[in-house]
Structure 1
Amino acid sequence: MTAGGNTSCFPSIRQSKGCCWKAGLYGRIDCIRTEKGRKIPFEYKRGRSRVMPDGTSEAWPSDTLQAIAYAVLLEERLGSAVNEARIHYGADRKTVTIKVDTAMRRTLKRALERARELRRSTRRPPIAENERLCARCSLAPVCLPEEERFAEQPERPPIRLFPEKHETWDMHVVEAGSTIRRSGDSLVVENQEGNKQSYPIRQIHSVTLHGPVQMSTQTLHLCSEQGISIHWITGGGKYIGSLMRAAGGVQRRMRQYGGLVNEELALLLSARLVAAKIEMQLRYMLRLSRGNERRNAMSSHLQMMRNMLKYVGKSRTRQEMLGLEGNAARAYFACIAICTEHRMSEGLAFTHRSRRPPKDPFNALLSFLYSLLYRDCVQAIVTVGLDPTIGFYHQPRSGAYPLALDLMELFRVPLADMVAVGSVNRMQWSVEKDFEQAGPRFWLNPSGKKKAIKLYESRKQDVWKHPVIGYSLSYARLMELEVRLLEKEWSGKPGLFALNKIR
């Protein structure tokens, strides 16, 4: 920062969303300085300034436009002219001055007109022709320019512009009677004994409340303001609902509706989804039975899955695909029973799938993991800005969101089935210590839930190399990537959704 002048913050602008009704602008100014009676808006950037051929520093075009917009916003707020704005680049410690003259105001006006034009249109804008513009664009993880170019030119490996991992983590509160309250910019969890733990809000991605856990109104406000999703799951492990701040506008959802009422596209996506699910199931069972006697016991079931996979591409209706998927699922679960039969004496073997209610510990564990997965799929869909109530494969026959059920099919094997089978075979569970029973029903007790959550969240953070696109990312990030690739299917650039063959 240059010396001299006073720094001040206008509460109505600095601490809340300022607005300029005349220009239709909304935003937050980083800082306002007063020099010789003039108010000057300052914008701070972490990166470097634009170096010109003569060695001087200038602001990048997008930064310049932002600074002009802040000047106009402040001008409207003050009721007097603001003819200058400044941008400070932290990486090279350069401060660039922007003159807010008539030409700059016309530039801003044209940009606003273009933005309104794009907003009125339901078509998604094309990616930039200049690839270098995408490398530092903050919207690259949203529009996926490299993935779109790869779909058109498979011989050209994409550069990963999509973040590898979440920088924040998912918070679960399991203990019955716990209360979550706000303390400044932190969440404080207090159990029935009065023990408290504090968690900075900036480190939290979502909050999941299991069973009778309370959250104060102030905490709900803070989470909503910060874009932190809140989910509720019953004590028995059933997903109830969520509070999330939806992203995106009506145009994105109009494209979704237009795409999914296209029966040909819906069948194509359904076939690709079912094929991916069956192939993942088959690969997992082949891996578990490699080099041991299980392979012979599984042979007929493995062949059934191969046959169902072969027929998926020939299906012409959803009913046919549902039949093929159901036959493959029965064969798959029969294989899981073979893989866990040596845990029969411990009460942890799997015999057949039972859901409402789970009738053995393995099914209770699997259902709980599926609830956690469903929660993440709903969150990924809403984060992207799509409507989870409109799916292409599952139909709205229950309270569950069809599109979330569609997305789940890609992740059941790696995030739930593998976790359940692997942890049971590693003898990480005790029927007496981790489960409760009432009549024919089993469910996880608080100790078992904590263990299952830890296993699931740890698996979700595993980094995995996408076999089609070629770069690595965590399963948590992969869910969001698949939703964004799905959106491209009806936005004019199809080709990559459900091709991951997750392992």
Structure 2
Amino acid sequence: MALHALAYCERLFYLEEVEEIRIADAAVYAGRRLHDAWSEGEEWESWQLDSPALGVTGKVDGLKRADGSWIVYERKKGKPDRRGEHPRAWPSDRLQVSAYTMLLEEKLGVSLKEARIRYHASNQTVRVGVDEQAREDVRRAISRALELRKQKSRPPVTPNERLCATCSLASVCLPEEERMLETNRRKAPRLFPEDIERQTLYILDHDANLGRNGHRLELFAKKTKKSYPATKVGSVVIHGYGQVTTQAVHLCARNDIAIHWLTPGGRFIGSLQSGSGGVQRRIRQFEALREDEFCLLLARRLVEAKVDNTRRFLLRTTRSGERDSFEPMLKALKKLLRSIQKAESLDVLRGYEGMAARHFFGALPYLVSDKAGQEMIPSGRSRRPPKDRFNAALSFGYGLLYRALLETVIRVGLEPSFGFYHQPRSSAHPLVLDLMELFRLPVVEVPLLAAVNRRTFQPEEDFVPTTGGIWMSEAGQRKMITLFERRLTESYKHPVLNYSLSFRRAFELETRLLEKEWSGSPNLFASLRIR
């Protein structure tokens, strides 16, 4: 299968075999079912073969004897190459069955001349001659595969754009986004999925128990039982002291379901999640983020995006009312944007970011409607513990955002503890904190302010005042989770790529665009802007 990927696209081979990234989409599952569904009434044999001489292994799914000789059969769900008088096998398919034939020859000690490929979409069987040229093609492909395995950088995107449209790793490779930069296209053809279909399961009840029944997760809470197919769950988030059985943990691990533990107040504790990608990706990340100038370049872009979005939001929020009281803040933010582009160190950038944050939180009390009630008006920014109800909801929302971005970073295959802007001064992962700066405003702050003005939160029912601070009650947490999850499903149009996607997908897109900054396709990260 690896040689098949190599002949199809060298970038695909590198992602699958070197970086160990594999995504099973609908087409992949269809191919697996096809290989399993051999015709009834026919006798087939399947052999696992290896060749020390060639240095490859492979599983031949279909073998038949004809006229006293073995013939390798391969099944494909598509159609053959019809360019010409007769249907032909595609080059990648031809290479695959030729390699299988050579493995079989070495095992049996005989010479075989032919293999066959069944294309089910057109119900045609194509004969593939295995001559000396085919054998030489296999040897060259193996040599090229060994060369690619030694590389630290990804091969370029294939020039054949049609191959990308059906590739299962298009959402990882982002080929059209790279081509857009190279060719100055105004819009990238959409290959990146708009949203994620798997849901997040939140557990707030301290007496809850998450177990397993077959291929389903079962949640027992407050004398009720709910069942969820493992294939429909993307992550489990436990706030407080809910329990998870070992059997449920095993099911989650096998189905790439992340489990996150947070305190009752929403502060992140830890996760159990399997990452993707090999060591090569982390080596590239470490080497790139060790360069101070490179980190400063990324940080400038990040802080500029955050401050620019803050200014855009204040302009949008105040355009229908009196803006006089906001003019000093808007002018200060505009001046900061010019200064950010000239910042000569990360410390200077942090100073500019802090000044912008003070302007934003200074403006927040004036953005809260009088109908929301005096109790919901914030007094600056306070945390650990929050001193008012607005900050309690804000801190809880930031905790949800941190968890979601940590899950994304690990799923993409980057090292979350190695960032470019934040420093490793606490248990929080710097790279996750870096990415949070892009999404605090559009994903947490904007929807929270709108919800407060709609009087979604009740000051007495949704918050618990204590001597040390104010926390959200379970009812308030459920409202904040609903608000957060609803926001993640909302779509926005990317200002550079010019296609729409949900904020949940935007987490992954920005993380992958960040990786491209040190993988040969820069200048797309942190271009997210609100309207």
Q: Same fold (TM over 0.5)?
A: yes
- From 470, 492, 495, give the equivalent of 1:442: 470
Counterpart amino acid of residue 231 in structure 1: H
CA contact (8 A) 2:80 2:119 kept: no
Q: Identical aligned pairs, as a percentage?
A: 43
- From 123, 130, 142, give the equivalent of 2:172: 142
CA contact (8 A) 1:380 1:483 kept: yes
Bigger mean CA offset, 174-183 vs 411-420: 174-183
Counterpart amino acid of residue 168 in structure 1: R
* Shift in Å, 1:233: 1.2
* Shift in Å, 1:106: 5.2
Alignment pair present for 1:407 and 2:407: no
Match of 1:5 in 2: 42
* Shift in Å, 1:477: 1.2
1:271–1:348 distance in 2 versus 1, CA, 3 Å: same
For 2:100 and 2:247, the matched residues in 1 are separated by: 31
1:80–1:493 distance in 2 versus 1, CA, 3 Å: same
Match of 2:290 in 1: 261
CA contact (8 A) 1:39 1:82 kept: no
1:489–1:220 distance in 2 versus 1, CA, 3 Å: same
For 2:75 and 2:244, the matched residues in 1 are separated by: 36
* Shift in Å, 1:156: 4.7
- From 236, 239, 255, give the equivalent of 1:226: 255
- TM-score w.r.t. structure 2 length? 0.83
Match of 1:420 in 2: 448
* Shift in Å, 1:140: 2.2
Counterpart amino acid of residue 123 in structure 1: S
CA contact (8 A) 2:73 2:118 kept: no
2:368 alignment partner, SS class: helix
Match of 1:342 in 2: 370
Alpha-carbon displacement from aligned partner over 1:393-446 (angstroms, at most 9, x marks no partner)? 111111111111111111111110012101111111112222223223222222
1:338 alignment partner, SS class: helix
Alpha-carbon displacement from aligned partner over 1:17-44 (angstroms, at most 9, x marks no partner)? x895857768888x66877897967555
Bigger mean CA offset, 180-189 vs 166-175: 166-175
Match of 1:489 in 2: 517
Following superposition of structure 1 onto structure 2, how do residues 209-358 of structure 1 map, counting pairs within 5 Å?
Answer: 209-293=238-322, 295-340=323-368, 342=370, 345=373, 347-358=375-386
* Shift in Å, 1:3: 5.7
Match of 1:201 in 2: 230
Alpha-carbon displacement from aligned partner over 1:313-370 (angstroms, at most 9, x marks no partner)? 1110111110110000000111112111625635212221111011222111111111
CA contact (8 A) 1:88 1:94 kept: yes
CA contact (8 A) 1:6 1:35 kept: no
2:461 alignment partner, SS class: helix
For 2:202 and 2:108, the matched residues in 1 are separated by: 49
For 1:296 and 1:33, the matched residues in 2 are separated by: 80
Match of 2:19 in 1: none
Bigger mean CA offset, 302-311 vs 232-241: 302-311
CA contact (8 A) 1:5 1:35 kept: no
For 2:143 and 2:90, the matched residues in 1 are separated by: 21
CA contact (8 A) 1:74 1:82 kept: no
1:378–1:58 distance in 2 versus 1, CA, 3 Å: farther
For 1:185 and 1:71, the matched residues in 2 are separated by: 38
Bigger mean CA offset, 112-121 vs 408-417: 112-121
* Shift in Å, 1:67: 5.7
For 1:279 and 1:225, the matched residues in 2 are separated by: 42
Alignment pair present for 1:49 and 2:79: yes
1:389 alignment partner, SS class: coil
- From 193, 203, 228, give the equivalent of 1:173: 203
Match of 2:486 in 1: 458
In structure 1, stretches of 5+ residues that fail to align are none
- From 362, 383, 403, give the equivalent of 2:411: 383
CA contact (8 A) 1:228 1:244 kept: yes
2:335 alignment partner, SS class: helix
Counterpart amino acid of residue 171 in structure 1: L
1:356–1:2 distance in 2 versus 1, CA, 3 Å: same
* Shift in Å, 1:87: 5.7
- TM-score w.r.t. structure 1 length? 0.87
CA contact (8 A) 2:211 2:245 kept: yes
* Shift in Å, 1:459: 0.9
Alpha-carbon displacement from aligned partner over 1:159-183 (angstroms, at most 9, x marks no partner)? 1221111122222222222111122
For 2:256 and 2:72, the matched residues in 1 are separated by: 30
For 1:264 and 1:203, the matched residues in 2 are separated by: 43
- From 457, 475, 480, give the equivalent of 2:503: 475
For 2:130 and 2:211, the matched residues in 1 are separated by: 45
2:382 alignment partner, SS class: coil
1:160 alignment partner, SS class: coil
CA contact (8 A) 1:361 1:435 kept: yes
CA contact (8 A) 1:40 1:82 kept: no
Match of 1:159 in 2: 189
For 1:191 and 1:90, the matched residues in 2 are separated by: 48
Bigger mean CA offset, 90-99 vs 279-288: 90-99
Match of 1:368 in 2: 396
1:432 alignment partner, SS class: coil
CA contact (8 A) 1:186 1:199 kept: yes
1:148 alignment partner, SS class: helix
1:292–1:167 distance in 2 versus 1, CA, 3 Å: same
In structure 2, stretches of 5+ residues that fail to align are 1-37
* Shift in Å, 1:307: 1.6
Alignment pair present for 1:118 and 2:148: yes
Counterpart amino acid of residue 5 in structure 1: E
- From 219, 222, 236, give the equivalent of 1:189: 219
For 2:502 and 2:59, the matched residues in 1 are separated by: 32
1:240–1:115 distance in 2 versus 1, CA, 3 Å: farther
Counterpart amino acid of residue 134 in structure 1: C
* Shift in Å, 1:95: 5.5
1:165–1:322 distance in 2 versus 1, CA, 3 Å: same
For 1:192 and 1:434, the matched residues in 2 are separated by: 20
Counterpart amino acid of residue 353 in structure 1: R
1:475–1:79 distance in 2 versus 1, CA, 3 Å: farther
Bigger mean CA offset, 111-120 vs 183-192: 111-120
1:53–1:412 distance in 2 versus 1, CA, 3 Å: same
* Shift in Å, 1:214: 1.4
Alpha-carbon displacement from aligned partner over 1:107-133 (angstroms, at most 9, x marks no partner)? 444434323322211122111123333
CA contact (8 A) 1:43 1:67 kept: no
